[in-house]
């Protein structure tokens, strides 16, 4: 049976980071499992079987080109969030395995950094081609372990593979400089050289894209990597690593370890052979990594938490604003770092916008991601549900009003109703903390100046959005917002060709685009003297 045919058979009826500690996977399953979930479970088993036969369902770590278990035999389970059931066991690795992976990456670096840009480009292009050739299987794998709808998973494959393609192209454009010398007998020039071994720590919400966004430019620049995927979603990373081997990328250039997150993190930041840490995840953990890296003075790139404002002005095109807001808020069940966390609506259209948003959101179908009609899957685990509930309860206890949703979905487990809540104030927890769930909090504002003040009143500064038909206003507000990304009349702004990163406590450095390449390079100045002598 072909994978395409298998995917069609999986169209069921509708309804159907973390570095410090692994959030609880024990989903509430005290009640008997309904027949529909048994059907979903059987479908998931079918997907797993197909992935196993294709060689993409890997359940071991990758160290120096070899697939290995944890040295002490310990394992962890990976769960399907749509059913709460385990998919596979993975090795629970720790410091010893990580140190061996670092050594393998360091040994491989000695030869990999000497390969030509053209050679690295060709190998990355082969990796990209394989990712695209297997995008259906990889998308199914993402939906299986992360829960997002299959269409979104397919979109992530295109997006994530794009970083490998862009890096393959940009590898040949890492240029240095010639500097006019102040003395006639000297020549001055600048070289860009790879930083060395990179520790890449990725989150669970985008299991492929958050890895390729780091690994693509690292390899293109001549670095080698030790990848630490989330224990919640390691299978996509392992599948991508398998395809890197098939592409001909040498052993030790790409390594993958997962398991005991604190031990792995400690090994990466303590090793003098690791010269850079790149991390996507919470601000709290990013601060710990930054502090830990000080001991060996590593380069650090951090893409941390967000608190994105989405500002809707009176003069906005309502249809454009609703479409953009829904895309920015509810993609991946609200589990993205650039989700619209606070929706600021000017008072002249506040009620009209709220009613239109409810109308758009109430038609969203919630369910297992393999259903072609589903646009919202489950939250990643029970801890996420409890956090969302806590923020909503705090807001409503302080005067906010629920006008849609606001509770666990009737499907149970970690499915949550798409939610709209009005009369939210900037002082409420839901305005101060990253929700990471399908909740749209609406705040009211009067003037442009007030909107900018509210939007910037946060320690975060990653994504932001503006909806207005005034060109002058779009320029003024975009320049005034203290954010690394600004979408104007657009809710989906991430792309591999543009720089991604934040201001303030949302992080350091940039990923993607030509600017992201510099994060993996050292600048060397060379002065040649006595040039006028024979």
- pLDDT > 90 in the chain, percent: 88
Q: What is the largest CA-CA distance in the chain?
A: 89
What confidence tens digit (pLDDT) does each residue in 269-294 have? 999 999 999 999 999 999 999 999 99
- Do 327 and 361 contact (CB within 8 A), yes or no? no
For the entire predicted model, the pTM comes to 0.91
The alpha carbon of 264 is separated from its chain's Cα centroid by a whole number of angstroms, namely 20
pLDDT above 80 (res 416): yes
Task: Give me the mean pLDDT over the 475-486 stretch.
Answer: 98
H or E stretch at 57: none
The alpha carbon of 241 is separated from its chain's Cα centroid by a whole number of angstroms, namely 17
Q: How far apart are CA 360 and CA 172, in angstroms?
A: 46
Task: Give residue 48's pLDDT.
Answer: 78
Among 376, 412, 368, CA closest to 13: 368
- Mean pLDDT over each residue of the chain, to the nearest integer: 92
Task: Give residue 384's pLDDT.
Answer: 97
- Do 29 and 413 contact (CB within 8 A), yes or no? yes
- Do 307 and 340 contact (CB within 8 A), yes or no? no
User: Which one from 145, 303, 417, 496 is the annotated catalytic residue?
Assistant: 303
Task: Give residue 67's pLDDT.
Answer: 98
Told to judge if 337 belongs to the known catalytic residues of this protein, a careful annotator would answer: yes
Q: 242 CB contacts (<8 Å, ≥6 apart)?
A: 55, 56, 58
Task: Give residue 525's pLDDT.
Answer: 98
Task: Give me the mean pLDDT over the 33-44 stretch.
Answer: 55
User: Which one from 221, 223, 337, 339 is the annotated catalytic residue?
Assistant: 337
pLDDT above 50 (res 3): no
Q: How confident is the model at residue 39 (pLDDT cuts 50, 70, 90)?
A: low
Q: How wide is the angle at C-alpha 336 spanned by C-alphas 432 and 143, nearest 5°?
A: 145
- Do 480 and 486 contact (CB within 8 A), yes or no? no
Task: Give residue 1's pLDDT.
Answer: 31
Task: Give me the mean pLDDT over the 488-506 stretch.
Answer: 97
Task: Give residue 465's pLDDT.
Answer: 98
What confidence tens digit (pLDDT) does each residue in 7-24 have? 333 333 333 323 333 333
Told to judge if 303 belongs to the known catalytic residues of this protein, a careful annotator would answer: yes
What confidence tens digit (pLDDT) does each residue in 418-432 have? 999 999 999 999 999
Task: Give me the mean pLDDT over the 61-86 stretch.
Answer: 97
Give the DSSP letter string of 94-135.
-HHHHHHHHHHHHHHHHHHTTS-HHHHHHHHHHHHHHHHHTH
Task: Give residue 18's pLDDT.
Answer: 34
Q: How far apart are CA 273 and CA 291, in angstroms?
A: 17
Q: 500 CB contacts (<8 Å, ≥6 apart)?
A: 213, 303, 484, 485, 494, 510, 511, 512, 513, 516
Task: Give me the mean pLDDT over the 31-38 stretch.
Answer: 48
Task: Give residue 41's pLDDT.
Answer: 58
- Do 152 and 368 contact (CB within 8 A), yes or no? no
Q: How far apart are CA 269 and CA 266, in angstroms?
A: 5
**3-state class (DSSP) for residue 457:** coil
Q: Buried b / exposed e across 289-327, counting CB within 10 Å, b at 16+?
A: bbebbeeeebbbbbbbbbbbbbbbbeebeeeebbbbbbb
């Amino acid at each position: 049976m072909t994978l395409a045919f298998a995917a069609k058979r999986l169209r069921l009826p509708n309804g159907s980071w973390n570095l410090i500690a692994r959030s609880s996977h024990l989903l509430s399953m005290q009640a008997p499992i309904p027949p529909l979930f048994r059907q979903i479970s059987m479908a998931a088993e079918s997907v797993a079987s197909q992935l196993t036969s294709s060689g993409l369902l890997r359940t071991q770590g990758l160290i120096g080109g070899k697939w290995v278990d944890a040295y002490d035999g310990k394992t962890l389970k990976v769960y399907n969030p749509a059913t709460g059931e385990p998919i596979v066991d993975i090795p629970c690795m720790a410091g010893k395995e990580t140190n061996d992976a670092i050594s393998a990456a360091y040994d491989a670096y000695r030869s990999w950094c000497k390969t030509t840009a053209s050679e690295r480009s060709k190998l990355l292009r082969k990796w990209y081609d394989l990712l695209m050739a297997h995008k259906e299987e990889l998308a199914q794998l993402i939906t299986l372990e992360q829960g997002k709808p299959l269409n979104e998973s397919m979109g992530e494959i295109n997006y994530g593979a794009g970083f490998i393609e862009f890096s393959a192209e940009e590898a040949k454009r890492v240029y240095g400089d010639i500097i006019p010398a102040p003395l006639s007998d000297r020549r001055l020039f600048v070289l860009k050289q790879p930083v060395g071994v990179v520790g890449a720590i990725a989150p669970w919400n985008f299991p492929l894209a958050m890895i390729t966004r780091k690994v693509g430019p690292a390899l293109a620049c001549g670095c080698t990597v030790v990848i630490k995927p989330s224990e919640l979603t390691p299978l996509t990373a392992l599948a991508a690593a398998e395809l890197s081997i098939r592409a001909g990328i040498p052993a030790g250039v790409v390594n993958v370890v997962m398991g005991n997150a604190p031990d792995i993190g400690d090994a990466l930041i303590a090793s003098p052979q690791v010269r850079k840490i790149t991390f996507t995840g919470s601000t709290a953990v990013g601060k710990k990594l930054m502090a830990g890296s000080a001991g060996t003075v590593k380069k650090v790139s951090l893409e941390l938490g967000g608190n994105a404002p989405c500002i809707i002005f009176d003069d906005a095109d309502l249809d454009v604003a609703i479409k953009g807001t829904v895309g920015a808020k509810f993609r991946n069940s609200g589990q993205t770092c650039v989700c619209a966390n606070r929706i600021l609506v000017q008072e002249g259209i506040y009620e009209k916008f709220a009613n239109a948003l409810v109308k758009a959101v109430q038609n969203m179908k919630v369910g297992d991601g393999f259903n072609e009609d589903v646009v919202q899957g489950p939250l990643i685990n029970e801890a996420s549900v409890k956090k969302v509930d806590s923020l909503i309860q705090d807001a409503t206890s302080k005067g906010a009003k629920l006008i849609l949703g606001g509770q666990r979905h009737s499907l149970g487990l970690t499915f949550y109703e798409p939610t709209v809540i009005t009369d939210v104030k900037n002082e409420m927890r839901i305005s101060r903390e990253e929700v990471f769930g399908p909740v749209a909090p609406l705040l009211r504002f009067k003037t442009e100046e007030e909107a900018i003040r509210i939007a910037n009143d946060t320690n975060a500064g990653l994504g932001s959005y503006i909806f207005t038909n005034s060109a002058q206003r779009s320029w003024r507000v975009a320049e005034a917002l203290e954010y690394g990304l600004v979408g104007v009349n657009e809710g989906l702004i991430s792309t591999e060709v543009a720089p991604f990163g934040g201001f303030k406590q949302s992080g350091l450095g940039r990923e993607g685009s030509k600017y992201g390449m510099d994060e993996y390079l050292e600048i060397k100045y060379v002065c040649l003297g006595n040039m006028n002598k024979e």
